């Protein structure tokens, strides 16, 4: 999964944070490409998920502040979508991922990667006209 110019929201700060988010998601994807069910580093996967969680919180704060300053009318719904994603990440209990560990991590990864992609492509692109300076 790659960030490209078509995903730009015409704001330098947000774009660079989105690039960072995509790069963390790509790191996760790469791990799964090199790992197999019988040979993978559970701790490393969890480490990147924790990093992603922290970075996501930081990024959402930045983005929400910019949208607030711009008086974006869709802010409440947008914030809710952010909150749901943060909650999902917070509900991951590394100690409880025991049964079908590899499959659980794969499902988790698929969800995270899809969410980031569809959020940036869909939900985020909706605010572009509101934050673009004339």
131 contacts 72 by C-beta, under 8 angstroms: yes
Contacts of 90 (CB under 8 A, 6+ apart): 53
Measure the CA–CA gap between 29 and 1, rounded to whole angstroms.
8
Residue with smaller CB distance to Fe ion, 48 or 67 = 67
Residue with smaller CB distance to Fe ion, 47 or 80 = 80
Beta strands in the chain, from DSSP E residues, in sequence order: none
Interface mask toward Fe ion for 108-127; x: CB under 5 A: ----------------x---
Residue with smaller CB distance to Fe ion, 49 or 124 = 124
Instruction: Give the shortest CB-27-to-Fe ion separation in angstroms.
Output: 20
Instruction: Give the shortest CB-69-to-Fe ion separation in angstroms.
Output: 15
Residue with smaller CB distance to Fe ion, 24 or 45 = 24
* Total residues interacting with Fe ion, rule: CB under 5 A: 1
**Applying CB under 5 A, does 72 fall inside the site for Fe ion?**
no
Give Rg (Cα) of the chain: 16
How many CB atoms are located within 10 Å of the residue 120 CB? 19
Which residue number is nearest to Fe ion in terms of Cβ? 124
How many CB atoms are located within 10 Å of the residue 31 CB? 16
Residues that bind Fe ion (CB under 5 A): 124
């Amino acid at each position: 999964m790659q960030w490209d110019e078509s995903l730009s929201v015409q704001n330098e700060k947000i774009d660079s944070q989105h690039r960072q988010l995509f790069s963390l998601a790509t790191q996760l994807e790469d791990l799964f490409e090199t790992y197999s069910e019988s040979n993978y580093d559970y701790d490393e996967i969890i480490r990147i998920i924790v990093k992603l969680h922290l970075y996501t919180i930081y990024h959402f704060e930045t983005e929400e502040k910019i949208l607030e300053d711009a008086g974006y009318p869709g802010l409440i719904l947008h914030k809710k979508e952010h909150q749901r994603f943060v909650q999902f990440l917070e509900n991951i209990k590394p100690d409880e991922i025991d049964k079908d560990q590899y499959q659980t991590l794969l499902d988790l990864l698929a969800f995270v990667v899809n969410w980031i992609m569809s959020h940036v492509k869909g939900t985020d692109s909706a605010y572009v006209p509101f934050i673009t300076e004339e």
